[in-house]
Amino acid sequence: MHKTALHPEHLKLGAKMTEFHGWDMPLYYTSILEEHHSVRSAVGVFDISHMGQVWVRGPGACGTLNELVVSDLTQVGPDRACYTLLTNEQGGILDDLIIYRVGDQDYLVIVNCANREADASWLSAHRRGEVEVRDISNGRSIVAVQGPHASRLLDEVAGTRVGGLGRFDVVPLPSLGEWVWAARTGYTGSDGFEVFLPDQAAVRLWRRLLERGAQPVGLGARDTLRLEAGLRLYGTDMDAATSPYEVGLGWTVAVHKPSFLGKDVLMRQREGGVARKFIGFEMGEGPVPRHGCAIVAEQRRVGTVTSGTFSATLNKPIGMGYVEPACASPGTPLAIDIRTKPYPAVVVKLPFVRAREQANVAAGSSTPLTGRL
């Protein structure tokens, strides 16, 4: 299995390890519940170095990316980031990405680990003009610092003020070395940052964060946190057979762009609607809903659960999935079929939990919190 540069640190901490898309990753260190609460109430630190980092640079960089993703990258200024979707000719989602513009013609593209090679090849095969596409993942790490105390802690450790950054702002951190950036992005629904840096610098940063009281957090709490925030997981909640409008991410589609891969199909869906819609639901009782469970209305299957968990914040089971459009309105009563027994549920508006952000986060930003494992 693949191992991140922080793998020895996880073993020293006695982490419970698990296989994730070919990577040996920490599932938890103390408990999923404790780590979940740490991120909601204080600060947690995650090793997410399994994710891919693809460098796209040159005069043709923006044109290449803009033709392949649904968002309009011409509207993303330097030192800003954009959550977007990589689509195929049919409008299906090949991956969800965050693209960081770290220079006039320089973009750092963060991709899901299972799609790293495919995404890099796809971008390279569709180059427009003079552009370099290079997978720079090897030798580099990503450390996420999340929670209401994240900005204060990172300010102390990095020696650079990051607390004034707005959502989706990105800034270099020269105090940690060359080719190091921090961005106010994340996958927990709480305030926080992701730091992109070489492996050796990541080990030093990890140790400093833990020395100052950060709670190490594994993939278990990462999943419960992202679910409370209504964030989709590629390969579980969406895939190449899913369109942005089906999964409730139509806000990412720049309908005014002259062209992008799959635009014709997506414009027809925008006008004519889709055959299924993505929802969130809460349950008053019962076991945790799991991927594949049937969603029932009036004793008829109307959809399928894609993600489910027990919300530590709400103290109840929650889940997400697809249903027929007539069953997608908030307040609609449903049943979730778990081990052949139906349990009452109700459709709710996503996110389930909207964590209170720090007062110094840029006000008025309309960019939803979203992302991927």
- Confidence at residue 196, expressed as pLDDT on a 0 to 100 scale: 98
251 falls within a domain: no
Q: Are residues 29 and 162 in the same domain?
A: yes
356 falls within a domain: no
Q: For residues 274 and 11, give the distance between their C-alpha atoms in angstroms, rounded to a whole number.
A: 47
- Confidence at residue 357, expressed as pLDDT on a 0 to 100 scale: 38
Q: Are residues 113 and 86 in the same domain?
A: yes
Q: What is the CB-side half-sphere exposure of residue 3 using CA atoms within 13 A?
A: 8
- Confidence at residue 160, expressed as pLDDT on a 0 to 100 scale: 79
Q: For residues 179 and 174, give the distance between their C-alpha atoms in angstroms, rounded to a whole number.
A: 8
Q: Are residues 23 and 58 in the same domain?
A: no
Q: Are residues 172 and 301 in the same domain?
A: no
Identify the CA nearest to 235 among candidates 70, 67, 116, 108. Answer: 116
Q: Are residues 221 and 342 in the same domain?
A: no
Q: Are residues 35 and 147 in the same domain?
A: yes
Residue written as token pair 């989706």: 168
Phi, then psi, of 267 in degrees rounded to 5: -65, -35
What's the domain range around 67?
53-123
Structural domain count, the chain: 3
The token duo for 42 is 């204080």
pTM of this structure? 0.94
Query: Which residues, other chains included, contact 329 with Cβ-Cβ below 8 Å and sequence gap of 6+?
Result: 347
Q: Are residues 70 and 150 in the same domain?
A: no
By the 8 A CB rule, do 336 and 343 touch? yes
Q: Are residues 151 and 224 in the same domain?
A: yes
Q: Please name every residue paired with 182 in a beta bridge, in sequence order, or none if there are none.
A: 171, 195
What is the CATH number for 285? 2.40.30.110
The string over 76-99, giving b where at least 16 C-beta atoms fall within 10 Å of a residue's C-beta and e elsewhere, is: beebbbbbbbbbeeebbbbbbbbb
Q: Are residues 44 and 82 in the same domain?
A: no
The token duo for 234 is 């590629």
Could you read off the pLDDT of 113-146 as tens digits, one per residue?
A: 999 999 999 999 999 999 999 999 999 999 999 9
Q: Are residues 24 and 58 in the same domain?
A: no
365 falls within a domain: no
363 falls within a domain: no
96 falls within a domain: yes
What is the CATH number for 21? 3.30.1360.120
What is the CATH number for 106? 3.30.70.1400
Residue type at 233 in one-letter notation: L
- Confidence at residue 355, expressed as pLDDT on a 0 to 100 scale: 65
Those residues of the chain that have pLDDT short of 50 are 357-373
Q: Please name every residue paired with 317 in a beta bridge, in sequence order, or none if there are none.
A: 310
What is the separation of C-alpha 230 from the centre of its chain, rounded to a whole number of angstroms? 10
Domain boundary among 198, 228, 258: 228
Q: Are residues 37 and 159 in the same domain?
A: yes
Distance (Å) of CA 137 to CA 64, 79, 189, 225: 20, 20, 25, 25
164 falls within a domain: yes
- First vs last C-alpha separation in the chain: 18
Query: Which residues, other chains included, contact 340 with Cβ-Cβ below 8 Å and sequence gap of 6+?
Result: none
238 falls within a domain: no
Residues across the chain: 373
Residue written as token pair 């946190």: 225
Q: Are residues 32 and 67 in the same domain?
A: no
175 falls within a domain: yes
